[in-house]
Amino acid sequence: MKEAIDFSCKESKEKSISSEMKRLSSQFGKIEPKKKRVTVGLIERAAFMRIALAELEDDLNTYGFWEYFSQGDQEPYQRKRPASEIYGQMNKNYQSIIKQLTDLLPKEDAKPDNDDGFGDFVNGRDDE
Protein backbone atom coordinates (compact mmCIF):
# COMPACT_ATOMS: atom_id res chain seq x y z
CA MET A 1 0.00 0.00 0.00
CA LYS A 2 1.27 3.46 -0.87
CA GLU A 3 2.34 5.66 1.99
CA ALA A 4 0.28 8.85 2.18
CA ILE A 5 2.21 12.03 1.55
CA ASP A 6 1.37 15.15 3.51
CA PHE A 7 1.83 17.67 0.69
CA SER A 8 1.55 20.59 3.11
CA CYS A 9 4.64 19.35 4.99
CA LYS A 10 7.99 20.07 3.33
CA GLU A 11 9.72 17.29 5.30
CA SER A 12 7.13 14.74 4.16
CA LYS A 13 7.66 15.70 0.51
CA GLU A 14 11.45 15.63 0.88
CA LYS A 15 11.27 12.19 2.52
CA SER A 16 9.05 10.95 -0.33
CA ILE A 17 11.43 12.35 -2.95
CA SER A 18 14.39 10.72 -1.22
CA SER A 19 12.55 7.41 -1.05
CA GLU A 20 11.67 7.67 -4.74
CA MET A 21 15.31 8.44 -5.60
CA LYS A 22 16.37 5.25 -3.81
CA ARG A 23 13.70 3.24 -5.65
CA LEU A 24 14.75 4.60 -9.04
CA SER A 25 18.45 4.17 -8.25
CA SER A 26 17.91 0.50 -7.49
CA GLN A 27 15.70 0.10 -10.56
CA PHE A 28 18.35 1.60 -12.83
CA GLY A 29 21.35 0.23 -10.93
CA LYS A 30 22.47 -1.95 -13.85
CA ILE A 31 23.50 1.03 -15.96
CA GLU A 32 27.18 0.76 -16.81
CA PRO A 33 29.49 2.90 -14.63
CA LYS A 34 30.61 5.21 -17.48
CA LYS A 35 26.99 6.30 -18.01
CA LYS A 36 26.02 6.29 -14.34
CA ARG A 37 27.08 9.94 -13.73
CA VAL A 38 24.51 11.06 -16.29
CA THR A 39 21.75 9.18 -14.51
CA VAL A 40 22.13 10.97 -11.18
CA GLY A 41 20.52 14.19 -12.42
CA LEU A 42 17.85 12.30 -14.36
CA ILE A 43 16.94 10.26 -11.29
CA GLU A 44 16.77 13.39 -9.11
CA ARG A 45 14.45 15.11 -11.59
CA ALA A 46 12.31 12.01 -12.06
CA ALA A 47 11.92 11.55 -8.30
CA PHE A 48 10.88 15.17 -7.83
CA MET A 49 8.45 14.97 -10.75
CA ARG A 50 6.83 11.77 -9.52
CA ILE A 51 6.08 13.32 -6.12
CA ALA A 52 4.95 16.60 -7.72
CA LEU A 53 2.68 14.63 -10.07
CA ALA A 54 1.15 12.86 -7.07
CA GLU A 55 0.52 16.26 -5.46
CA LEU A 56 -1.06 17.58 -8.66
CA GLU A 57 -3.20 14.44 -8.95
CA ASP A 58 -4.47 15.01 -5.43
CA ASP A 59 -5.35 18.60 -6.34
CA LEU A 60 -7.04 17.55 -9.59
CA ASN A 61 -9.04 14.83 -7.84
CA THR A 62 -10.25 17.42 -5.32
CA TYR A 63 -10.89 20.44 -7.57
CA GLY A 64 -11.15 18.94 -11.07
CA PHE A 65 -9.53 19.81 -14.37
CA TRP A 66 -11.86 22.71 -15.23
CA GLU A 67 -12.92 25.90 -13.49
CA TYR A 68 -15.17 28.85 -14.18
CA PHE A 69 -13.26 32.02 -14.93
CA SER A 70 -14.23 35.60 -15.71
CA GLN A 71 -12.48 38.91 -16.13
CA GLY A 72 -14.20 42.07 -15.12
CA ASP A 73 -17.95 42.07 -15.79
CA GLN A 74 -17.69 39.38 -18.49
CA GLU A 75 -19.82 36.25 -18.28
CA PRO A 76 -17.92 33.39 -16.56
CA TYR A 77 -16.69 30.65 -18.86
CA GLN A 78 -15.16 27.28 -18.25
CA ARG A 79 -11.41 26.90 -18.77
CA LYS A 80 -8.75 24.33 -18.04
CA ARG A 81 -7.22 24.84 -14.61
CA PRO A 82 -3.53 25.78 -14.64
CA ALA A 83 -2.83 22.71 -12.46
CA SER A 84 -4.15 20.43 -15.21
CA GLU A 85 -1.88 22.03 -17.80
CA ILE A 86 1.13 21.77 -15.49
CA TYR A 87 0.24 18.13 -14.80
CA GLY A 88 0.06 17.30 -18.51
CA GLN A 89 3.43 18.87 -19.30
CA MET A 90 5.17 17.45 -16.25
CA ASN A 91 3.79 13.97 -16.93
CA LYS A 92 5.16 14.14 -20.47
CA ASN A 93 8.59 15.24 -19.17
CA TYR A 94 8.57 12.50 -16.52
CA GLN A 95 7.85 9.84 -19.11
CA SER A 96 10.65 11.23 -21.28
CA ILE A 97 13.15 10.97 -18.42
CA ILE A 98 12.08 7.41 -17.60
CA LYS A 99 12.54 6.49 -21.26
CA GLN A 100 16.02 8.05 -21.25
CA LEU A 101 16.92 6.03 -18.17
CA THR A 102 15.48 2.85 -19.65
CA ASP A 103 17.45 3.38 -22.85
CA LEU A 104 20.66 3.57 -20.79
CA LEU A 105 20.09 0.10 -19.35
CA PRO A 106 22.18 -2.64 -20.95
CA LYS A 107 20.38 -4.47 -23.71
CA GLU A 108 19.17 -7.91 -22.77
CA ASP A 109 21.09 -10.53 -24.71
CA ALA A 110 18.83 -12.77 -26.70
CA LYS A 111 18.65 -16.21 -25.19
CA PRO A 112 20.64 -18.66 -27.28
CA ASP A 113 18.41 -20.82 -29.38
CA ASN A 114 18.80 -24.33 -28.02
CA ASP A 115 16.36 -25.75 -30.53
CA ASP A 116 17.95 -28.83 -32.01
CA GLY A 117 15.04 -29.49 -34.37
CA PHE A 118 13.72 -32.48 -32.44
CA GLY A 119 10.41 -30.76 -31.64
CA ASP A 120 9.84 -29.88 -35.28
CA PHE A 121 10.72 -33.45 -36.26
CA VAL A 122 8.22 -34.97 -33.84
CA ASN A 123 5.45 -32.46 -34.58
CA GLY A 124 6.01 -32.54 -38.33
CA ARG A 125 6.05 -36.24 -39.01
CA ASP A 126 3.06 -37.88 -40.61
CA ASP A 127 1.12 -40.27 -38.48
CA GLU A 128 0.16 -43.20 -40.68
83 is a domain residue: yes
61 is a domain residue: yes
Return the pLDDT at 7. 74
Distance CA 87, CA 81 (A): 10
101 is a domain residue: yes
Distance of CA 35 to the CA centre of its chain: 20
H or E segment and range at residue 123: helix 118-124
Return the pLDDT at 35. 86
95 is a domain residue: yes
> What's the predicted TM-score (pTM) here?
0.74
Nearest 5°: the CA angle 51, 55, 60 is 140
Cα Rg of the chain, angstroms: 24
Tell me: pLDDT of 124 over 90. Answer: no
Instruction: Label residue 103 by pLDDT band (50, 70, 90).
Output: very high
Q: Are 104 and 35 in contact (CB under 8 A)?
A: yes
